[in-house]
Chain A
């Protein structure tokens, strides 16, 4: 094989992403009283539970229809029904989300029809069963996450009276980030419906009694009323309209949609706060202004360290975009920008801000770590920002990693890292700056020795 210039390869070597149903599980975990059933081979549920558990350090109960060879020949409806029966009896959920897998999609299972018939058959009219097709081969966890959120709204939203609430739809961010967004909204006296809200369900406090279905999550009736909200803020710039929950609410119910970046960094947080102000007319509280001032002060304090940073940023599109913005407003150059998702939106969205740059940069989509590493090699990249698989860059190329996104399985607390809002951005920036400093202090003496002593002799 001759390597062509674009470096295209058929082989995926050390992937940068996971598959669609995993994102679907995360979306459903943010709905109150929910349980998830994966329609397919039981290995999918087991693997994904393991992966999510390692990040969240919480029980991740996901059921499977456990299809086997017989199911692949005769269809899996029987298992599907039994699975739903057992979940309802043992877990008594208020809502069940059914996701497909590669297996179910390849044999052409129509879960929407099956769910409808099940409801009729068991005479449980009104019991919400959300079915979301999430074939593993059709996208990454990021697409699975948003398309499932859209399906949840499609399944629950009803024509309703207009009200003053705001819908806030977030990408897969940390539980601390969810709480921070809620705090900001509360501080501005804004009533909002946050979707999804797994801040409790995936980060549950230790209590004396164990709850089989953890309390918390966006309420089903709140989701039903999202159609009547005065606006939707969707923190997702890179997703297509077809999987956008906000776009559905706009098309179907005429809810105005504001698509904004994840509020990481000063500029992006300004956009968030300003959008809120614009929609609701709320006053910006003094405390929030002070937080902005503190972020700015911190940025000034660390700017002389930050400009030495040359970063490789990778992960889900929204994480990547937000980290790129934070880096750029602090003088850290994002030389390698990569996502496993298939999207050209990164290039489009970043073109303007990067066009003026005289340094070379690489934006890669649908990529893996072998390509990311290739671009980082001998390129001056001295800091990596992304999920735990980036530890590979540390091991092979000595580039320190600031953990951000999902999954963070080789450190404790990845699920509660704060990175949004003015306060979160400063905390994220500090983590980046300190990693640069760590790297510098470890190498400082040897670099000086090399520069001034060794060359002299």
Chain B
């Protein structure tokens, strides 16, 4: 059964009228004949079982955490540090294992007395201790809710410690209550990295050909490694990855790249924009999830550099990979063909995975994001029309200006305009472009709506996270965790697509499901009873 506006009303009728009005604006039944708007990045309705997290999660958990050669100190009570400890499966490897802190959790473990008397002194001592024990090259400090409330001056503590230890110490005021979701934390982290890290290296020029940064790739389950494998084979010089398997040392010199690739638009577009202003480096929206999207992204990159050797090499690598991947995907498609999926993830995967699902013959009938903004749904053209509210104003934009020495126009304005016609250069069209008529686009989906949408649309698979995983499975439907990949992966690039196909297909054909019949499948089409013949 499809969902129309009337059906949607019925679902939302259970809410109080104000909540109903609110939630209705976050749900769009796609009609491609009209221009549709969605409400996003606004306050969560209290008491709704949202899947959203907090600013701290976005800052420390998502953006900073994967930087392997920095020590990340959580200034706050122990819970925040514990819950953000190695839970995102952002893999990292280091040539110098002593300089890789990815598996550690450092916290100031604030106690009641720290809340009353302030935690600055303890934080300073904690910095002294980690410096003495680990000798890191750089440290980040992330604030949790109480820190801002009791007025600890993180910045001052960081500055003093920097002077004392002569290493880089960054502080982030990413208290959990800031903004409306993780998104606020991404922005705060982006600002800090641009202000204090990127450009602080001595490098003036990249040593290799086609120098690039890969932004918004967090190396979940090794995604970044698979992407890097292909990019290196083609001949790109990857200066830095932000931030999966990322490194402070590499990030310092990210200014020398000729192109910034943006994988997750939501969490990192601020850096992409700021680097364009500061160093004249354009950014290209890429999507390395799915075979076709990967191919398209690679071709767009080659087109950007416009070098025939690079274009040839790109085609050569694509052909080589296709030869391996195609038959494998074909095989799994036989199992998956004709099935339907819900795809509700954080801020970009809700869009990225649709292509990969389609390659397997699976149609995405509902998609959405936990914490995205309108531009992630409707495309960046909507940006000038987004009203800023009090919540977004609380996260200040970092004003950057042209770097006098290092600014270099990578493209002539004419060439840039010409390219923009062909490739998504400094542009993202949003999720809506791929949503077909009658499909549902939903922002900040909660447990109640999840349940109702499943009952009506009966998807064959639901891609989301661990918090709704068991609701879905209890309803007899396979779930695919797209935050942690259910301890699998990589899913990106060519080899990732094969792994994803295998995992998804196997979740359909597992004999376990033979023992489960969803209740609606047993419902007779006609009500009535069989009478014995006379």
Contacts and interface: CB of A to CB of B under 8 A. Distances in A.
A1 B451 contact: no
B451 A84 contact: no
Interface stretch (A47-55, A221-229, A264-272, A425-433): A47-55
Contacts of A82: 45-47
A206 B474 CA distance: 6
A12 B474 CA distance: 38
B29 to A, nearest CB: 22
Interface stretch (A102-110, A244-252, A318-326): A102-110
A240 interface: no
A161 interface: no
Contacts of A42: 44, 50, 52-54, 181
Of B46, B53, B81, B112, chain A has the most CB atoms within 10 Å of the CB of B46
Nearest to A60: B467
B14 interface: yes
A19 B391 contact: no
A1 B129 contact: yes
Given A46-B53, A86-B45, A90-B448, A15 B82 contact: yes
Contacts of B77: 19, 102, 135-137
A18 B47 contact: no
Nearest to A104: B145
Interface residues of A, number: 74
A10 B87 CA distance: 24
A23 to B, nearest CB: 11
Interface string B26-67: 000000000000000001111111111111110000000000
Contacts of B56: 43
A102 B82 contact: no
B1 interface: no
Q: Choose among B49, B114, B518 the residue with the greatest number of A CB atoms under 10 Å from its CB.
A: B49
Interface stretch (A63-71, A146-154, A181-189, A327-335): A63-71
Contacts of B80: 43, 47, 136
A137 B112 contact: yes
Contact of A84 (B47, B81, B85, B519): B47
Given A40-B145, A86-B46, A46 B51 contact: yes
Interface in A1-47: 1, 9-15, 17-22, 37, 40-44, 46-47
B475 A137 contact: no
A42 B444 CA distance: 13
B474 A43 contact: no
A9 B471 CA distance: 42
The 10 closest A-B pairs by CB, nearest first: A43-B54, A19-B79, A83-B47, A86-B47, A47-B83, A41-B176, A83-B46, A12-B109, A137-B77, A103-B145
Nearest to B18: A82
B108 A63 contact: no
Interface residues of B, number: 82
Contact of A85 (B16, B43, B53, B105): B16
B313 interface: no
Interface in B77-120: 77-85, 87, 103-112, 114-115
Interface of B: 14-16, 19, 43-57, 73, 76-85, 87, 103-112, 114-115, 122, 125-126, 128-130, 132, 144-146, 148-150, 175-181, 390-391, 394, 447-448, 451, 465-471, 474-475, 516-519
A210 B49 contact: no
A164 B148 CA distance: 53
Given A10-B129, A41-B176, A66 B109 contact: no
A50 B474 contact: no
A212 B451 CA distance: 9
A86 B16 contact: yes
A130 B475 CA distance: 31
A11 B131 CA distance: 11
Given A46-B54, A46-B57, A204-B474, A103 B177 contact: yes
A101 interface: yes
Given A1-B128, A41-B175, 9 more contacts: A1-B132, A10-B122, A46-B50, A50-B467, A64-B50, A82-B45, A85-B16, A136-B77, A204-B474
Given A42-B44, A42-B52, A106-B149, A69 B177 contact: yes
A89 interface: yes
A208 B517 CA distance: 7
Contact of B466 (A11, A41, A54): A54
A288 interface: no
A79 interface: yes
Contact of A37 (B47, B51, B85): B47
B23 to A, nearest CB: 10
A280 interface: no
A422 interface: no
Contacts of A434: none
B434 to A, nearest CB: 28
Contacts of A103: 145-146, 149, 176-177
A79 B46 CA distance: 6
Contacts of A54: 466
Interface in A223-265: none
A62 B48 CA distance: 9
B232 to A, nearest CB: 29
B390 to A, nearest CB: 7
B470 A41 contact: no
B249 to A, nearest CB: 23
Given A11-B106, A68-B177, A87 B470 contact: no
A155 interface: no
Interface string A105-121: 11100000000000000
A43 B467 CA distance: 13
A198 interface: no
A209 interface: yes
B46 A41 contact: no
B522 to A, nearest CB: 8
A208 to B, nearest CB: 5
Contacts of B79: 18-22, 44, 47-48, 102, 136
Contact of B81 (A15, A48, A101): A15
Nearest to A43: B54
Contacts of A43: 53-57, 80, 176
A1 B50 CA distance: 44
Contact of A72 (B16, B73, B149): B149
